Chains A and B, each alone.
Chain A
Amino acid sequence: MVSATKDLKQEATDHPAKDGFEPLLNETFAGKHLTDPIPEIKDKWKLLPAFLKVKGLVKQHIDSFNYFVNIDLKKIVKANQRVTSDVDPHFFLKYCDIYVGIPERTDADAANQPYTPHECRLRDLTYSANIYVDIEYVRGRTIVRRKKVAIGRLPIMLRSQQCILTGKTEAELAKLTECPLDPGGYFVVKGVEKVILVQEQLSKNRIIVEMDKKNNVMASVQSSTHERKSKTAIIVKHDRIYLKHNSISEDVPIVVAMKAMGVQSDKEIAQLICGNDHDLLDLFSINIEEASKLKIYTQKQALDFIGSKVKVNRKISGPRRPWADEALEVLATVVLAHIPVETLNFREKSIYAAMMVRRVLQAMNHQVEVDDRDYVGNKRLELAGQLLSLLFEDLFKKFNSDLKLNIDKVLKKVNRTQEFDVHNQIILHGDHITSGFTRAISTGNWVLKRFKMDRAGITHVLSRLSYISALGMMTRIASQFEKTRKVSGPRALQPSQWGMLCTSDTPEGEACGLVKNLALMTHITTDNEESPIRNLVFVLGVEDVNMLTGAELYQPNVFVVFLNGSILGITRRAEKFVHDFRRMRRAGRVSEFVSIFINDHQRTINLSSDGGRICRPLIIVENRKPRVTQQHINDLIAEKLTFEDFLKKGLVEYLDVNEESDSNIATYEPDIIPESTHLEIEPFTILGAVAGLIPYPHHNQSPRNTYQCAMGKQAIGAIAYNQLNRIDTLLYLMVYPQQPMVKTKTIELIGYDKLPAGQNATVAVMSYSGYDIEDALVLNKSGLDRGFGRCQVMRKYATMVKQYPNGTHDRLVDPPQPDSELWNETYSALDADGIASPAEPLESGSIYINKQVPSNTNAELGVGAGVQNITYKGSPMRYKSPQTGYVDKVLLTTTESDQTLIKVLVRQTRRPELGDKFSSRHGQKGVCGIIVQQEDMPFTDLGVTPDIIMNPHGFPSRMTVGKMIELLAGKAGVLAGKLQYGTAFGGSKVEDMSQILIENGFNYSGKDYVTSGITGEPLSAYIFFGPIYYQKLKHMVMDKMHARARGPRATLTRQPTEGRSRDGGLRLGEMERDCLIGYGASMLLLERLMISSDAFEIHVCEECGLIGYAGWCQFCKSSKKMKSMQIPYAAKLLFQELMSMNICTRLMLDDAL
């Protein structure tokens, strides 16, 4: 050894050049120069499709529903598992298990029991499955077990575990006439697709400190457990602190409350709240004084004090309990209900209350300690599963109590004909659970008396205007705040919504900022089991709260550990604890959705495992290096790894908003600093699915992106692969949809390139003809002939052939013979069965279903009355539209109630016309102002004529630079034969695009030499010319055009009806009236308001001023002074109404000039 080191030393001194580091001194090392950029991970966005395979977009709905079916359902049943009888103490019924089957038909004799969602849509059925229970009950003297007893039907969410579509390949889905791109996550109830929107709420069981109206600090908690929901607040009134709760009629001084919870000594109270902080103690001391003024020193006195103020809501008050007992129960179970009190151990609850008071005291001193309600971390999202579980809990409890009543009724009878079997009772128990579910989902009203919940508008019909509108609906979040509030807080963009909620996608106007959308790469958590986390926390060295006093609680360096808002204990080494916990999570020892973060202000460590938190995956950075390497990505691309593997290996982790705020996240790899903890997967994921369609959104003025998000949902295009099998009330389809030349990564990820809504129009940005002012577009007539903007409108007309209780029924009647007198043109489409055949043209007024309804559907028919005696009256269904429609499909089926249902699908093909609305993908909408012959269009030196001419005035004020870049990239793409990318914060670079243009002999700026089609002279400017993706929007003149001269009038007022659908009049409103008054055009006013509206001739008696007959006053009994005059019928109506209220109106007549 010695010699060896000697040798080395010698060598080192002899040959200093040979230390093994020589290659480092060379100019390049392993082919790399010292100043070469560090290679970044390429294609790390590939994590995104991998993520979307397992989570994201609509998966949160499905996950939530699966959680409900698999776990919540069982929990609810377990909590209500026994049904007993008051009559027979030996009787019991126990639910052992509950599970949901696969969706099956209700009629038992069907050949194939499972059915498809599409069949439900066509037949107006509910896509639902049986809920089965395993039961154990007493029959006679034995205990009987039964398995698989159906208690009701649960609507099944599409693509959830129970749904038959889950796990099917594209080919298998095609067999079931289902679109593989359809996201699922909605329900089919009575043939209608219903979505339960994500609901946003303030998080439960967390302390929120805020200012009330009088600028006093208050800390409140919304407690929510399975048994109880209540709100407890600590408020400040006249500098003193009180506990406020709904079940206590008066505010309780906090010291009294603390004493009632068993903390009797003033010193201990002060210490629990203030620790050793003298400032806080000064602020708090007044409260201690108050308690002593009230002469309350012991727990018993305090309980008596509170007990006298407790609101007792007991129906049958037996022997009245002492006040103290009353108070004790309220404090244990109702106040701060989420903190458990076992065997009257109030320690945890009193510390919790003390912490709340401390927060209030701190906020009184420093305003900064007040929480932000709008912070996304303080919010929870409620999903379909949670809402359904609330509903089920209510329905199940009702089911059991009804069952109990029935059981009691039967057991009361002493002599029964047969042995009592509950099983029969359950079977015959009706469809309470089934109808409860269908009613709630189809009306959207969640009325649960048990939880004092009455919410309307929870569900919405899935909008199928376009694929994007359906997808956009699935990511939508509705907030619970009332819309009338003037405060801007809830509506404003929150910095914490970065990456979680889309920054662009929100409606304009009333609901602006209140309705939000999820970003692309988000997931919403479901509940996680608390107890393993609790164990782990204590294993990692947290000291239990129950062993602590206030002095230890608030020492510097001591951090209080919370789990889901309740205190677990303290730790003195916060950083290490958090670090250890994160390592355990990354190792997969606890669920990846459990979050942990440090709040340095409050010196707390918060762990959350509750459901409804938004979270997103991020790449973990350690020692300035992302843990994901190029090798991992390559393996992902080669499909050797999945997203789950990335999670398991601890390369990627989910962060919720709170933990995200506690992390240092680098957006790009070169931005990593020593403090960095995470790296973004892709920055464009801060946008949602709808905003992701916009090319180059980072070059646009932000409101334009918001406008586009609203408009993209109205674009006509392909809806689903099964669009031609669907029979929807209204379906817009584009005839030749194209995928955009300038795509984004989002477009590929959500499949917009497979179901596009728009066409690549060649656009010339120039002025032409003067019919293009105010965003109007000039369209090329030949372009329209070639199919630009052509769309089909399919409309469903449905009718039931009803049977009535009195035995009569509707009937379909064949048309009269063509040579008979009764025949006319409107019968021409009808077939012998009284229904128009597919492909028959329907003109306006044509009958397509010739139905007759019995004239008497109420009265009971006599016994002798035969079929001949029933009279029918016609109720034909007539087609009404200015354009000819063709019958596309006629479907006949039987609904669940055995009524025949007929659906007729009528198709119109529409080519763009003057006034139809178009839009690019940059919030630049415009209507067609003129359609020009191709010959008159300007053309380039290659002979290209534009499809659309757009006025350049649309650009300067809108600042939609993205649109210009789209044109450039599109043009380059056309010339290179490639699709270009306009992904947000990336995409094809303008410089590269210009290069392609130059290589193909074009101007680098996208401008072309253009010749006028009218004069044949070259235009005096180069024209910005190239393809832009244009969408046709659903607003078409044909559906809006309306005019009327004379027409129908309302029966009551005799004024013209209102609205286009009733062929209504055009109203001359108040403001128009004001103009005419101002101008003094009295005769015009008279004509508009009376003569053209509801003029009515009355006869007035000059003597008494009352309205009489023509030439006779019934009041004066004379015919002397009768005058006839014209007044509005509405005025006459008013007089009569007043008269009916015992107010006499008299007309004083005078000569008009």
Chain B
Amino acid sequence: MNAGAYGTPQPRQPVQQMAYICAAHLITYPRLIIACGSENTIKPREPIRCQDCGHRIMYKKRTRRMVQFEAR
């Protein structure tokens, strides 16, 4: 969340904002649940809160890198 933390301040492009997924289960209609799932950005030192539904739990998105699992 903070750039340039390692000693020498080298020119670096600003880190792009990370997106997090809201964990809310919204019960909109009887017997219908919709996960909010809207993407939010989190700023340091600001309370975490979904812009859409006000829920306060966020999950991080799955990595975009390739992951190879060991099949044993």
Residues of A at the B interface (CB closer than 8 Å) are 110-112, 119, 122-123, 171, 175-177, 801, 803, 809, 811-814, 816-817, 820, 822, 831-835, 837-841, 852, 872, 884, 886, 889-894, 898, 900, 911
Contact = CB atoms under 8 A, between A and B. Distances in A.
A879 B55 CA distance: 30
A247 B3 CA distance: 72
B57 A838 contact: no
Contacts, number: 105
A199 to B, nearest CB: 36
A814 B54 CA distance: 27
10 A-B pairs closest in CB distance? A837-B63, A890-B60, A813-B5, A111-B54, A833-B18, A894-B47, A892-B58, A894-B48, A893-B57, A832-B15
Contact of A813 (B2, B47, B57): B2
A893 B56 contact: yes
B33 A175 contact: yes
B20 A892 contact: yes
Interface of B: 1-3, 5-7, 12, 15-16, 18, 20, 23, 25, 27, 31, 33, 42, 44-45, 47-49, 53-54, 56-65, 67, 69-70, 72
A831 B19 CA distance: 12
A916 to B, nearest CB: 15
Contacts of A834: 1
Given A811-B1, A811-B2, A831-B18, A111 B53 contact: yes
B70 A840 contact: no
B60 A837 contact: yes
5 contacts: A122-B57, A811-B5, A837-B61, A839-B63, A841-B67
A1039 to B, nearest CB: 18
Contacts of B45: 803, 809, 900
A823 B54 CA distance: 38
- Most chain B beta-carbon neighbours within 10 Å: one of A171, A872, A894, A911: A894
B1 A884 contact: no
Contacts of A811: 1-2, 5, 44
Given A175-B27, A809-B45, A833-B60, 10 more contacts: A112-B54, A177-B25, A837-B60, A839-B62, A852-B5, A890-B60, A891-B23, A892-B59, A894-B56, A900-B48
- Most chain B beta-carbon neighbours within 10 Å: one of A811, A812, A832, A893: A893
Contacts of B64: 837
Contact of A892 (B15, B31, B42, B62): B42
A400 B16 CA distance: 55
A835 B44 CA distance: 13
Contacts of A111: 53-54
A340 B49 CA distance: 59
Nearest to A122: B57
B28 to A, nearest CB: 11
Contacts of B33: 175
A867 to B, nearest CB: 10
Contacts of B67: 839-841, 886
Contacts of B31: 171
B68 to A, nearest CB: 8
Contacts of A852: 2, 5
B61 A838 contact: yes
A784 B38 CA distance: 41
Contact of A110 (B1, B42, B54, B57): B54
Nearest to A889: B59
Contacts of A175: 25, 27, 33
Given A122-B57, A833-B1, A816 B6 contact: yes
Given A123-B57, A171-B31, A177-B25, A814 B15 contact: yes
A832 B63 CA distance: 11
A898 B2 contact: no
Contacts of A893: 48, 56-58
A603 to B, nearest CB: 63
A119 B48 CA distance: 14
Contacts of B57: 119, 122-123, 891-893
A835 B60 contact: yes
Nearest to A867: B2
- Most chain A beta-carbon neighbours within 10 Å: one of B27, B57, B67: B57
Contacts of A898: 47
B47 A812 contact: no
Nearest to B42: A892
Contacts of A891: 23, 57-60
Nearest to B25: A175
A900 B18 CA distance: 16
B8 to A, nearest CB: 10
A112 B65 CA distance: 37
A889 B53 CA distance: 21
Contacts of B18: 831-833
A900 B7 CA distance: 26
A700 B59 CA distance: 50
A832 B16 contact: yes
Contacts of A892: 20, 42, 48, 57-60
Contacts of A110: 54
B44 A812 contact: yes
A124 to B, nearest CB: 11
Nearest to B68: A841
A838 B63 CA distance: 6
Given A175-B25, A834-B1, A840 B6 contact: no
Contacts of B23: 122, 891
Given A111-B53, A111-B54, A814 B3 contact: yes
Contacts of A839: 62-63, 67
A883 to B, nearest CB: 10
A893 B31 CA distance: 27
Nearest to B3: A814
A890 B48 contact: no
Nearest to B32: A175
B21 to A, nearest CB: 10
Contacts of B56: 123, 893-894
Nearest to B72: A911
A813 B1 contact: yes
A814 B59 contact: no
Contact of B5 (A814, A831, A838, A894): A814
A814 B2 contact: yes
A1106 to B, nearest CB: 49
